[in-house]
Amino acid sequence: MKVTLLGTGDATGTPVIGCDCPTCMDANNGGRSRRLRFSILIQSDTGQVLIDTGPDLKWQMIENGIDHVDAVIWTHGHYDHYAGFGEFHRIQYNVDVYGIEETLDYILDYLYFLKPIRHNVLMYEPFVLAGLTFTLFEVKHPPVKNAVGVIVYEGDKKVVITGDAIRTIPSKSMELIRHPDLLIADGIVPPTMNVKKHMNAQEAMELAGEIGAKEVVLTHLSHYFEPHDVASKTMPLGYDGMVFEL
């Protein structure tokens, strides 16, 4: 299994329009602080699956040499996690899309013109794509009523993606996500800051410790961190194009 972080930014991405903070300046100058919006590519020997399709998907696919996908999984209905699916226009129609019913109802009301093939998925019920087993688990991301994270299994390898989440994760989910080989965690701001909808970096690291993650990388990152090369010395920050092979 190969996991590529196509986009590691929050809803605004970095650089932020009109901002001249050191992190946005580093992004403008081509540093790793440049962060497109959230999307993850999961590849196996038989196919490739997108977890979320952020607004920058066109450039993410071009920069990573992706010309098609076998399926898309959506974690929730916020625009920075689905709006880029429209970039498939005239490229690929009838894509198999997966998510819980409420999420698909909302997203496909907008993206119907691509004629995606809908697959309603129940939380905690495994399903197979591209030879990999996926399971959606409940997280809390207020004010979204039902947001999910994603677990990916291949043999004895296990990857956990929290999606957008606060630290309070339901106990049923906590039991399921224990002992991953890789945890890709929402850590939107540095430990000195707090937000209501997401974990900060410290909370994400505490989650990693609690579930016994072998490796952790933080994503969905804002420009409030110091420039990547500085902040990554003390925290495992992801960057666009980062690859994990399991």
Q: Map out the domains of the chain as residue ranges.
A: 2-245
Q: How far apart are CA 76 and CA 183, in angstroms?
A: 19
117-120, strands of its sheet edge to edge:
117-120, 96-99, 71-73, 48-51, 39-43, 2-7, 242-245
Q: Decide: helix, strand or coil at residue 193.
A: coil
pLDDT at 17: 97
> Contact, 141 vs 164, CB < 8 A?
yes
Torsion, Cα of 29, 42, 236, 225 (10° steps): 40
pLDDT at 204: 98
Distance (Å) of CA 53 to CA 41, 97, 150:
10, 11, 14
pLDDT at 89: 86
The CATH class given to the 2-245 domain equals alpha beta
Both tokens of 103, joined, read: 């999420």
pLDDT at 13 over 90: yes
Q: What are φ and ψ of residue 18, in 5° steps?
A: 80, 5
State the maximum Cα–Cα separation within the chain, in Å, rounded to a whole number.
47
pLDDT at 90: 86
pLDDT at 34: 98
216-219, strands of its sheet edge to edge:
127-129, 132-141, 144-154, 157-161, 182-186, 216-219
Distance (Å) of CA 220 to CA 22, 97, 150, 161:
18, 22, 15, 11
Q: How far apart are CA 187 and CA 190, in angstroms?
A: 8
Mean residue pLDDT across the chain: 97
pLDDT tens, residue by residue, 19-68? 999 999 999 999 999 999 999 999 999 999 999 999 999 999 999 999 99
Q: Is the pTM of this model over 0.85?
A: yes
Going by C-beta distance under 8 Å and a sequence separation of 6 or more, which residues neighbour residue 197? 141, 142, 164, 166
85 DSSP β-pair partners:
none
pLDDT tens, residue by residue, 188-239? 999 999 999 999 999 999 999 999 999 999 999 999 999 999 999 999 999 9
Q: How far apart are CA 143 and CA 157, in angstroms?
A: 33
pLDDT tens, residue by residue, 83-128? 999 998 888 999 999 999 999 999 999 999 999 999 999 999 999 9
